[in-house]
Structure 1
């Protein structure tokens, strides 16, 4: 169950056998069925989630009932409402499984203990948090600077395999466009090939 997590960590830092044993002791394995929630708006985000298998989505539902996709996480990705997880305040987001999923979950208390007992993990998470900040800045620039077609082609270039796994209406929501606009863009791009 820890294969993907250990491979992901070892791409960034070197773990000793002791680090691996310590790390495994702090995580809780969890299986989710498609559409099953791991966080609902109004609850506190109690876990930092690592996806071993499957696909998760994080989204906000506005007062009109419209879903706004914030993030997707698939094999080798982390997900949480970071603000709620770190502050203990209630979340404005929902996280559920878009596909059946296998997760490794860690509480804030265990996260802090892990960093103390396996100091190499502090470096690993610093690298992740830096990459996350960069990714969020790029997403902000994409959102305010590019046309709907450019947003879609950039997403397709960055994660082509994901487009096969994520329903079109969720992709449209993530890009901040209507499903109809996404359909027109896809048709136009298919004709130009």
Structure 2
């Protein structure tokens, strides 16, 4: 059932009742996308926030040299979109795509806003999720400057245990801010 994972997550964060469980099914739409499907292109407006049931997603941009730079791979708690575009409802400068086949739930910005206004529990959930996204981004920046590449590798594999089997090394290396050769070397060192 597509709503089990999200219902379990929400119930771990705030108390929900049967009506809330029904509300989840009302506002989150199940969608399936194939590997390499682009959900939001650069220049598009992100109309949906996605909850990841299965699969891997990435958010990336093209730098001044024409290289892809991966900003995010499967954000914490499973919610992901082209965040700036979704929040401001302006054109995205990033590309949001499926790395693997994905089973997702999506919610429009309008439905999310209404849901968060529904009652105090939903407002608290919104606060928890936004705080987690901010904390995640700040920790990512801090780790980039304070941890070794090997420590960042271990943290990533701890958070996403099957990432090395599911996601191309070039995407992971870009996400970590290193060259693919360096990531391959670290991966060999720790797996032999």
TM-score by length of 1: 0.90
1:12 matched to which residue of 2? 13
Give the superposition deviation at 1:95.
1.0
Cα distance in 2, alignment partners of residues 30 and 190 from structure 1: 36
What is aligned with 1:144? Answer: 145
1:126 aligns with 2:123: no
The 5-angstrom pairing of residues 16-95 of structure 1 reads 16-73=17-74, 77-95=78-96
Change in 2 beyond 3 A, CA 1:128/1:76: closer
TM-score, normalization by structure 2:
0.90
- Local SS of the residue matching 2:39: strand
Give CA deviations for 1:12-37 in whole Å, capped at 9, x if unaligned.
11211111212221122211000001
Output the CA distance in 2 between the equivalents of 1:119 and 1:37. 35
5+ long unaligned stretches in structure 1: none
After superposition, what is the alpha-carbon deviation per residue over 1:133-173, rounded to whole angstroms, capped at 9, x for unaligned?
A: 21111110111223323322332344333232222111111
CA positional deviation for 1:190: 4.0
Q: Which moved more, 1:109-118 or 1:78-87?
A: 109-118
Cα distance per residue 1:6-61 (max 9 Å; x no partner): 11111111211111212221122211000001111111111111111211111111
Question: For the Cα contact (< 8 Å) 1:4–1:76, is it kept in 2?
Answer: no
3-state SS of the aligned residue for 2:161?
coil
- Kept in 2, the 8 Å contact 1:142–1:151? The answer is yes
How many residues align structurally?
A: 191
Contact kept, 8 Å, 2:76 with 2:132, in 1: the verdict is: no
| CA distance in structure 2 between the partners assigned to 1:183 and 1:82 by the alignment | 30
101-110 vs 68-77, greater mean Cα deviation: 68-77
Compared CA separation, residues 145 and 114, structure 1 to 2 (3 A)? same
Can you list the C-alpha shifts for 1:72-107, whole angstroms capped at 9, x where unaligned? 127950001222112111111111111111111111
Whole-Å separation in 1 of the counterparts to 2:174 and 2:111? 34
